[in-house]
Structure 1
């Protein structure tokens, strides 16, 4: 289990403070996703890094965060990065994709025992 997975309440505490910052300051982004059961819209601040195939996000709190399950189930969502909104398509899981994030971040992710990632394609809206 990733180190941060031991603190399941942490996102609930930090996310309200991170959301305004994540809308404007890369590599932070806001992922907009729709609940699998409720259909409600949710927002999750995460760090996303550009790859040759789109963007990649480390699953730092565990293998199955709700935002990742929602994106995978719907096959779509939205990303807000530096004030611009993008449509998310083709979300897919990847493992050990450390080579696709900056080296210092990859080293931190390895130290935190993070090996699961979600990659997706984007198009500007």
Structure 2
């Protein structure tokens, strides 16, 4: 992560997420990841860009795979996602790098490429017995 990306990540963590987060999770293509801090145990809400997949969701990682929220989700083995008023239980986090951005719709690829967003986290919907999407 470059110095500018680190600065942007710190700014968003301190201010942007609090201001834009509640609005973004109500917009199509966006959501909020609810995750528990690895050390603090505190519940955090992080706005994310989401892409629906056959078995769950993929999220772009513009600040890289070492972001606190990504590490929290990996340590917990999952998280909850709130999008368009629905809540999804997600499991089996898998972080990967894809310069081709295969999961991204073609019109959005140049925008994400401009931010060098080639890292993603994929999560599967939890089995029905373990929790399921609510309306």
TM-score normalised by the chain length of structure 2: 0.83
CA contact (8 A) 1:29 1:45 kept: yes
Normalized per residue, which structure has more strand?
1
Distance 1:13 1:78 in 2: 22
Instruction: Structure 2 unaligned segments of length 5 or more: list them.
Output: 126-131
Distance 2:61 2:124 in 1: 17
Instruction: Structure 1 unaligned segments of length 5 or more: list them.
Output: none
Larger-gyration structure (1/2): 2
Distance 2:76 2:50 in 1: 19
RMSD: 1.7
Structure 1 residue 124 corresponds to structure 2 residue 127: no
Distance 2:5 2:55 in 1: 27
CA positional deviation for 1:22: 2.3
CA positional deviation for 1:63: 2.6
CA contact (8 A) 1:75 1:89 kept: yes
Aligned length: 125
1:92-107 aligned within 5 A: 92-96=94-98, 98-107=101-110
CA positional deviation for 1:62: 2.3
* 1:70 corresponding residue in structure 2: 72
CA contact (8 A) 1:21 1:28 kept: no
Structure 1 segments of 4+ aligned residues over 6 angstroms from their partners: none
